Each structure stands twice: as structure tokens, then as C-alpha cells.
Amino acid sequence: MITNNTSLLAWSITLGVLALVLVLDFLMAYRKREEVTSLKSVARWTIFYICSAIAFGVALGFWSTSRSRSEFFAGWLTEYSLSFDNLFVLLLIMARLKVAKEKEQMILFWGILSSLLLRGVFIAGGAALVNRYIWIFFFFGGFLIYTALQLFRESESEEWEEGPAIRFLRRRGASLAVVAMSAIALTNLLFAFDSIPAIFGLTRNPYVIVTATIFASMGLRQLYFLIGDLMQKLVYLSEGLSIILAFIGLKLIFEATIGEGHHKVAGITVPTISLALSLGFVVGTLAITALLSAIKVRKSPK
């Protein structure tokens, strides 16, 4: 059962502040819509958004519970890591459509906003399903394991290809901006299928799910301009993410099995994976991924 002990006042203040941040981000993107973004500005804003998420997570443990704090960091780290793959696909879309650098600001903003709206719909739908049918975790878990296998097999030479919907828009004479935003929206829809089951595998607190998802989306527009260099350095990111998704998938299947009243299967006790273990696994996997990537890049800089 999904529970939410967060007061209406806390919801109102949090969503109000985050909405204000989105408005300011829009104004900033609009003001610089014809400019090429400098890496110095990107790095500054990326650090600001990361520090804001960390500060919020730490503060959450003081006025809410320590469990909420741990759930937030587990969810935020997982969603933020998945965002890297999302941004990499956006990078391929922009390159494939030959979008001018100075036009990317507004397209990215609307693309990321569509991602937030889609995730909001999926969170509401997912919460309703989980609240009513615990067996839905079998589906979520199986889907995450399938996604993990697909991600693990990804080729470095993978390219984005236009789908039927994008080709239809081109034939109808849609502008490049409309085509690009439509491509990004459709891509975000596919990524929402991965990210929402993943965060439900770490927490069922709606407040934590919403805030972790929003904080993971904040600053992505700025991070986009660094992603090319970062993806070249994080060479094992896909492998690390696939391991995390497979772990969460198994966790969901275990929870669904216990929720259905089966504490033993074929004489084997179904394990209960604690939040502490989940958070430790996510952090540890990302740390090992970064370390192995750094070693690989140092040995083979080309």
C-alpha cells in the first residue's frame, strides 16, 4: 500500500518552488535562445542543481524521516543516471536532424518539460495500479530485467532512426523545431517506461517519487551541452545502469512474490531487500562504473 504522510502545505511549498525554478529556467533559455551555450555557464548551473538536490535530500531527513531521505537519494541517483542515456539519445536526435546549436536551448526546454509531464502521468497511473494490484510488480520487474538485458547489449555505434510519426511530420511540412520536439517527446515516452518502474522499486512514497523525479530532470538542459564529453569518459555507464535496473527488477519480483503470500518458493525463502541495501547497491554500482571507466579512459584515451 502506498502511503503519504506529507502535509498539503509541504506539497504546496515544494511544488511551488520547483515550478518557480522551471519558470526561471524557461526565461533563461528564452533569453539565450539565439546564443551558443558556454561550457563555463553549463558547469556552473549543473553544479548548482546537483547541490540543490543534495541539500533537499539532507533537509528531508530532518523534517520528514530518515527513511524518506534514503529513498530520495536512491531514487534521485537512479533517475539522474538514467537521464544520461536519455540525454545521449537527445544528442543523437539533434545531430541527425542537424539542429543549429543556437536553436537547441528552447527545443531542449520543451523536450525536458514534456518528459516531466509524461512522468507525472506515469507516476499517477503507476501509484493507482500498485495501490490496488501488488502483482503489477511482476510486470514492472520483468520489464526492468528485459530493459537491463537490452541496455547491456547496446552497441557504441548505435544511431537514432526516424520513426513513422517523424517521417509523417516531415511529409506534412512541419518545421525543424516541431519535428525535433516531437522526436524528443516520443523518446521521453519510451524512457518513462523504464524510469517509473525503477523508482517504484525503491520507494512507494508519492512525495519522494515526485521530488526525486523532478530534481533528476532539473539542470538536464545545461547538462546536455556537457554530455558528449561525459559519455566519452563514462564508457561503462550502460553496463552499470543495466546492473542497477536488473537489481531493482529482481527486488520488485521478490516484493510481489511476498505480497502475494509466497514467502518460500521451491523451499527457498524469498529474500527481502532493505532500503539500505538498495541505496548502497545503487551508489556502489555507480562508483565502480565511474572508477572502471576512468581506468579504461586512462589506458585507452582514444
pLDDT tens-digit profile, the chain (302 residues): 444 566 777 778 888 888 888 778 777 767 766 666 666 777 788 888 889 889 998 988 888 788 888 889 988 888 887 777 677 677 777 777 777 766 777 777 777 777 777 777 777 777 777 767 777 778 878 878 887 787 777 644 455 566 676 777 777 777 777 777 777 777 766 677 667 777 887 888 888 888 888 888 777 777 777 666 666 677 777 788 788 888 888 888 888 888 777 777 777 887 877 777 887 888 888 888 888 888 887 777 55
**Measured between alpha carbons, how far is 293 from 289 in angstroms, rounded to an integer?**
6
Predicted TM-score of the model (pTM)? 0.70
Classify the phi-psi angles of 130: left when phi > 0, otherwise alpha if psi is within -120 to 50, otherwise beta: alpha
**Measured between alpha carbons, how far is 174 from 169 in angstroms, rounded to an integer?**
5
**Measured between alpha carbons, how far is 172 from 177 in angstroms, rounded to an integer?**
14
Helix (H) or strand (E) holding 182, with range, is helix 176-200
Query: What sign for the dihedral angle of Cα 82, 88, 94, 100?
Result: positive
**Measured between alpha carbons, how far is 298 from 295 in angstroms, rounded to an integer?**
5
Give the bridge partners for 104, in sequence order: none
Q: What residue has cell string 572508477? A: 291
**Measured between alpha carbons, how far is 203 from 126 in angstroms, rounded to an integer?**
12
